[in-house]
A = this chain, B = another copy of it.
């Protein structure tokens, strides 16, 4: 163990979010992973399920054992399915551990919304209100110094970084918003199902959970904050035959006619100094592969004088900026470190 480093435990280490946290935290100069945890596979080597970690992670998986984790770690990342964090997070918080929760269980402030959209009981009100929603480029200031962060969803990260400045500045009509979102298959996790069966998904483009996705209230909660009034959006979720990447294609009616150059300039100013948001030059739109493996969110614009609409494209790697990468960015903000620590990797191309 290194001196003066933060000791991190990762719960849910047998899922894609957990295993990506391992990949990224290994290169974080201020963090040491001291426990990789899995309730289902405790006591076995993580390489049984993830042979790519052969010689890299040689410890066995730990169980979810609060006193043990307290003794080994300063911070806990939960890369657990929704519903599990409802029960686990309070135990870690009460044990005085710092917590970054990657599940959706603490993102919404409305307990009622959990019943409607998540179809399970919400976390206790006390913890729900305590969680700081860590959309880093928007709410980063609120994250600083906080012990308990709720990490944003993958789709909301892309959609909100694409839309927040426009809604905040009043450049488009918030009643007109349509978000056509596409995701790689890793977003569905490692669980088994026909929806992730290779022969069913390969060479296929498929809509799912239309108008029912649990990320809808999360997006609306934040956009309502930007607009200063309730906002409803049409949000469409579709699966792309690729492993990583999210594209959100966002449509809105412009409040007045503007050019691509106007949009680029405003966004560049809005996100000035935020290294992970890259605004593309006018006439250039990002593709998902151009951020693969990295923590970038790239944004491009197409204003249309014919229809008065603006189309905003935003891409992220769903496993990095949409999950593990942003969680580490939140760790950095929480600790008052440079937000890019451990996250400076370039996109892997091709």
Q: Which residues of A contact B (CB under 8 A)?
A: 16, 19, 22-23, 26-27, 50-56, 178, 180, 182, 184-186, 188, 190, 192-194, 196-208, 210-211, 232-234, 236, 238, 240-245, 247, 249, 251, 275, 278, 280, 284-293, 298, 300, 302, 304, 306-307, 309, 311, 313, 315, 344-350
Contact = CB atoms under 8 A, between A and B. Distances in A.
A199 B243 contact: yes
A39 B178 CA distance: 44
Nearest to A288: B205
Contacts of A293: 293, 348
A44 to B, nearest CB: 14
12 contacts: A19-B349, A54-B278, A56-B346, A180-B249, A198-B241, A198-B243, A199-B243, A199-B350, A203-B243, A203-B288, A234-B304, A238-B249
Contact of A186 (B19, B26, B288, B350): B350
B298 A54 contact: yes
A205 B52 contact: no
Copies of this chain held together in the complex? 4
Nearest to A245: B205
Contacts of A251: 178, 180, 234, 251
Most chain B beta-carbon neighbours within 10 Å: one of A54, A208, A240, A304: A54
A242 B202 contact: yes
Nearest to A292: B203
Q: Which 5 A-B pairs have the closest CB atoms?
A: A206-B287, A204-B289, A52-B290, A199-B350, A180-B180
Contacts of A345: 23, 27, 345
A242 B204 contact: yes
Contact of A240 (B23, B205, B280, B313): B205
Most chain B beta-carbon neighbours within 10 Å: one of A51, A199, A284, A349: A199
A228 to B, nearest CB: 19
A196 B291 CA distance: 19
Contact of A287 (B205, B234, B278): B205
Contact of A26 (B53, B315, B346, B349): B346
